A and B are shown apart, each in its own frame.
Chain A
Amino acid sequence: MADRELMYREALREALFEEMELNDEVFIIGEGIAERGGSYKVTEGLLAKFGALRVRDTPISEASMIGVGVGAAIAHARPVVEILYIDFAMLGMDQIVNQAAKFRLMTGGEGRVPFVLRTQGGTGGGVAAQHSQSLEALFYHIPGLRVVMPSTPHDAKGLLKYALRQPDPVMFLEHKHLYMTKGMVPEGELIIEFGKADIKREGTDVTLIAWSNMVPRTLEAAEQLAGEGISAEVLDPRTLVPLDKDAILASVAKTNRVVIVQEAVRRGGVASDIASIIQQEAFYDLDAPVEIVAGMNTPIPFNLELEKASVPQTSDIVAAAKSVLHADKAA
């Protein structure tokens, strides 16, 4: 079927539309998602199409809304819970960590929790410390959860559709800066299985690993590097759990140099874990230490310049790539 250009939020909406049409057990709850269509307009039109039984607003009860989604999933429905900001998901951590993630093991593998929590994180627009976090590492740390972070409209649609067909709890983490970005998306069926990385740009000199909003920024860096004769490969894991280790190791084997880029704070981050996997499983492929470009270990400040300083910028990625190539010393 034909590709058309869609915004990230339109691609998400299309995935919800298609899956809700296919499966009556898919329903969505969240704050202001029905009549208003959600703060990021992802759910616009769903109420009119699917009715108030399957598209409903909730009061401000995050801890219980998340639990309600988990309970509905245990009872074999396919709930989607939209949480406005990932920061607010912290109110429901018990339900995510102690309930959703554990149920399958606690029931000896018999019980499943096909629960999708959609939320968004990241900096942008000066919304300050309690509305700007990148918290994927918290969920990455918890066995039993799937952690999905699409960077393009295409991936957003395919991954959300897959999320609504697989049996485990999914933290579907969108980025507030990506909702208005555009990209080509096929009409109709598009399924992207979890654990399949995507090479967003091929290259031979250095592998740049990035996800979510760091992907466009890293592609920008790769473009600049190309102007200086450096061929950078940009690898987007798309899902952090499961992680496509094979694709990462294959790219490292090709380029022998790696930079991992994450918006989240450096300490205890996913980048560090990926770096440790690479050093353990591909040590002899490496020609330089793995470099990490990450957020500063700080809450996000309001001031624009300080906000920028606290998360990776294109120039930081370019500099890191050059440093692993020792290209900085060439001149």
Chain B
Amino acid sequence: MAADNTRSNTPPKELLEKLFTTAFRIRTFESGGIKLYRQGLVRGYFHPSLGQEGIASGACAAIEDRDYIGSTHRGHGHCIARGAEIDGMVAELLQKRTGYCKGYGGSMHIADITKNNLGANGIVGAGTPLGVGAALANQVRGSDAVTITFTTDGATNNGTFLESLNLAAIWNLNFILIIENNQYAVSTTLEEATRDTDLYKRGEAIGVESHQIDGNDPLLVYETVLDAVKKCRSGLGPVLIEAKTYRHSGHHVNDPGKYMPEERLKYYMDRDPVDRARDNLIKLGKMSAEEVAKLEEEIQQEFDAAVEKAKAAGEISVEEFQDFVSAY
């Protein structure tokens, strides 16, 4: 169903602050990471989530420590929103032993598994069954933990989307599938990839409660996910949420994104999730602009300090690597 965007009561300030600081932390990480990439300090692929921060921030604010998340190739934001330290994130980008994956994973496989994070994934669509698996494990062990899997518009055309959501449905799993519909798979538009671009309808077609929301509204994402979490915990899962959004730039750092029409981009830039989280914090949370600026400064400092620490850190040696994989 299409969501109602009005809310009656004012959300608590702590929540608004959390939504803003998380979104801003992601933005700072992505922007800073791109700079490091341009300086030649980061190898491989780097898919920024600039413009999509509202979804990770809103969704992860709605779950508890015992819950699980799973992510995509555009996964930095989910990992940060789930509570990963910026130190370990930056160090992983810089392939250091202090990184979350000790330099074995990199941007596309980044995960803080101590936070019940099933990991980012370099294979589009592959995270969905993994999330259903975590949800199944929790059902078998009698836990009410919920699993949120972030997926993409591109992945909805992979067979695992239907298969996995259907498994979650027949087993009534505590599973929330969030489609970050940024309307592109690299340069292929959603209109090219499917006839009906209302992706949430695919959930309805198999009897799953499904919503379509503005993914650039962090508070709305939070509220929708919180409601889905409550439904799951009372045995009414799974829930599908299509969160519409747009990238601020190309598919990865080296894609200029020339195919993204300027007007469309401007439309979404005007609805920037970080700006909206900031506005909410100031208007609804009554935080002063100075206080907000101070928060931003602290987050920037946290990132800068992480870069310095990562630069100073060592790397896994070839001997350690050989030792590690000797039983493979």
Q: Which residues of A does B touch, CB under 8 Å? A: 24-25, 27, 29, 53-54, 56, 58-59, 61, 63-77, 79, 94-95, 98-99, 102-103, 105-111, 143-144, 242
Contact = CB atoms under 8 A, between A and B. Distances in A.
A61 B163 contact: yes
A65 B159 CA distance: 12
A242 B119 CA distance: 27
Contacts of A98: 122-123, 126
B156 interface: no
B222 interface: no
Interface in B83-138: 99-105, 109, 111, 113-114, 116, 118-119, 121-123, 126, 128-134, 136-138
Nearest to B143: A75
Given A67-B160, A67-B164, A106 B105 contact: yes
B167 A58 contact: yes
Contacts of B139: 53
A61 B161 CA distance: 11
Nearest to A242: B327
B137 A99 contact: no
B259 interface: no
B249 interface: no
Contacts of B119: 74, 103, 106-107, 111
Contacts of B167: 58-59, 61, 64-65, 68
A79 B167 CA distance: 15
Contacts of B113: 74, 107, 110-111
11 contacts: A24-B141, A64-B132, A68-B133, A69-B133, A74-B113, A75-B133, A99-B121, A99-B130, A107-B101, A143-B328, A242-B327
Q: Which of A103, A105, A106 has the most chain B CB atoms inside 10 A of its CB? A: A106
A53 B109 CA distance: 31
Contacts of B141: 24-25, 77
B150 interface: no
A107 B105 contact: yes
B102 A109 contact: yes
Q: Is the contact region of chain A dominated by helix, strand, or loop, or is it mixed?
A: mixed
A67 B126 contact: yes
Contact of B129 (A71, A106, A110): A71
A268 B247 CA distance: 45
B100 A27 contact: no
Given A64-B167, A94-B123, A111-B113, A74 B130 contact: yes
Contacts of B164: 61, 64, 67-68
A73 B121 CA distance: 16
A71 B137 contact: yes
The 7 lowest CB-CB distance pairs between A and B, nearest first, are: A71-B133, A67-B129, A108-B102, A71-B130, A64-B163, A77-B137, A75-B134
A13 B167 CA distance: 25
A160 to B, nearest CB: 19
Given A59-B166, A94-B123, A106 B137 contact: no
B29 interface: no
A144 B170 contact: no
A54 B171 CA distance: 12
B267 interface: no
A230 B8 CA distance: 90
Contacts of B160: 63-64, 67
Contacts of A109: 102, 104, 324
B200 interface: no
Of the listed residues A65, A77, A108, the one surrounded by the most CB atoms of chain B closer than 10 A to its CB is A108
A164 to B, nearest CB: 14
A102 to B, nearest CB: 8
Contacts of B105: 106-108
Contacts of A29: 136
A72 to B, nearest CB: 4
Contact of A59 (B116, B136, B140, B170): B170
B309 to A, nearest CB: 17
Nearest to A67: B129
Most buried by A among B105, B133, B327: B133
B205 interface: no
A64 B132 CA distance: 9
A95 B126 contact: yes
A107 B111 contact: yes
Contacts of B100: 107-108
Contacts of A67: 126, 128-130, 132-133, 160, 164
B238 interface: no
B314 to A, nearest CB: 14
B136 A68 contact: yes
Contact of A68 (B123, B132, B138): B132
Name which of A29, A67, A110 has the most chain B CB atoms within 10 A of its CB.
A67
A58 B164 CA distance: 11
A98 B324 CA distance: 19
B174 to A, nearest CB: 12
B129 A68 contact: yes
B327 A75 contact: no
A79 B101 contact: no
Contacts of A27: 140
Given A53-B139, A67-B130, A103-B119, A108 B104 contact: yes
